[in-house]
């Protein structure tokens, strides 16, 4: 088994799955190690080489090193505190700047809003689905659909961050799914055998209480 360490905050995820991926990609590149530690699927050498070539570096070990240094991903892999990790989920005891929106007729499930490494003046943040009964995030079922409402009769499906990077829904690590969005968006959650749930994402504001403007 790989000696790649998994972050303590990932206890709620499928650790066996992550460890297998860590073993598969061990020693290939520093970005893969940091992605696994963040609970995200690692990147293969082939995919990394594509990014390297698109950035003007040669697809060689030296080219990869130059690319990683350029974007500070090697610092991320070594825990440099000056490098931000976007999309990082809150830990079990981290309630700072986190807000929960209850999902109607769902038992004890919520939409959990969290900064994910962003600052309030950047205007966007992340959310996931959270099971309040057991205190863990979960991936949306395949028959749940999220939409951004753009008008009375217009809507656009909202993919997860993982889907946006080309990961099929069924391959997302359990509990790792997250969505990135702008404040004040109007959204709709569609589930079978339940009325559609329309909700508006609040704006983040450092001048208001815990950092969230009320939903109106």
Q: From first to last of its 216 residues, what are the pLDDT tens digits of the chain?
A: 333 333 333 333 344 554 555 455 445 555 666 666 655 666 666 777 777 776 677 777 777 777 766 655 544 444 554 445 566 788 777 777 788 899 998 889 999 988 776 666 566 778 899 999 999 999 999 999 999 888 777 889 989 988 887 888 888 888 989 998 877 788 999 999 999 999 887 776 543 444 444 443
First to last CA, the chain: 51
Q: Is residue 125 part of a domain?
A: yes
What is the distance between the alpha carbons of residues 4 and 34, in angstroms, rounded to a whole number? 9
For residues 103 and 57, state if they share a domain.
Answer: no
Q: Give the structural domain span for 130.
A: 99-200
Q: 115 and 44 in one domain? A: no
Per-residue pLDDT, 147: 93
Please check whether residues 165 and 107 belong to one and the same domain. yes
> 47, 77, 107 — which closes off a domain?
77
**144 belongs to a structural domain:** yes
Q: Residue 9: helix, strand or coil by DSSP?
A: helix
Task: Choose the final residue of a domain: 21, 43, 77.
Answer: 77
Q: Are 188 and 198 in contact (CB under 8 A)?
A: yes
117 located within any domain: yes
Q: Is residue 33 part of a domain?
A: yes
Residue 55 belongs to a domain: yes
| Overall domain count for the chain | 2
Inter-residue contact 4 to 22 (CB < 8 Å): yes
Residue 86 domain-assigned?
A: no
Provide the pLDDT for residue 102: 93
- Domain contains 215: no
pLDDT of residue 9: 37
The two three-digit tokens of residue 137, written as one number: 């995030």
Task: Please check whether residue 135 lies inside any domain of the structure.
Answer: yes
């Amino acid at each position: 088994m790989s000696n790649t360490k998994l972050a303590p905050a990932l206890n709620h995820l499928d650790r066996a799955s992550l460890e297998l991926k860590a073993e598969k990609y061990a020693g290939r590149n520093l970005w893969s190690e940091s992605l696994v530690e963040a609970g995200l699927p690692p990147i293969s050498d082939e995919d990394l080489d594509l990014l390297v070539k698109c950035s003007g570096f040669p697809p060689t070990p030296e080219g990869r090193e130059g690319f990683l240094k350029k974007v500070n991903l090697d610092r991320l892999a070594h825990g440099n505190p000056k490098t931000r990790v976007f999309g990082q989920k809150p830990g079990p005891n981290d309630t700072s700047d986190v807000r929960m929106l209850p999902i109607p007729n769902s038992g004890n499930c919520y939409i959990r809003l969290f900064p994910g490494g962003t600052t309030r003046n950047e205007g966007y943040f992340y959310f996931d689905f959270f099971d309040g009964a057991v205190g863990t995030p979960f991936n949306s079922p395949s028959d749940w659909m999220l939409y951004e409402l753009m008008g009375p009769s217009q809507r656009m499906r909202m993919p997860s961050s993982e889907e946006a990077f080309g990961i099929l829904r069924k391959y997302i690590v359990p509990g790792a799914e997250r969505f990135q969005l702008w404040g004040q968006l109007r959204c709709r959650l569609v589930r079978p055998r339940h009325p559609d749930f329309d909700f508006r994402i609040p704006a983040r504001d450092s001048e208001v209480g815990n950092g969230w403007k009320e939903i109106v």
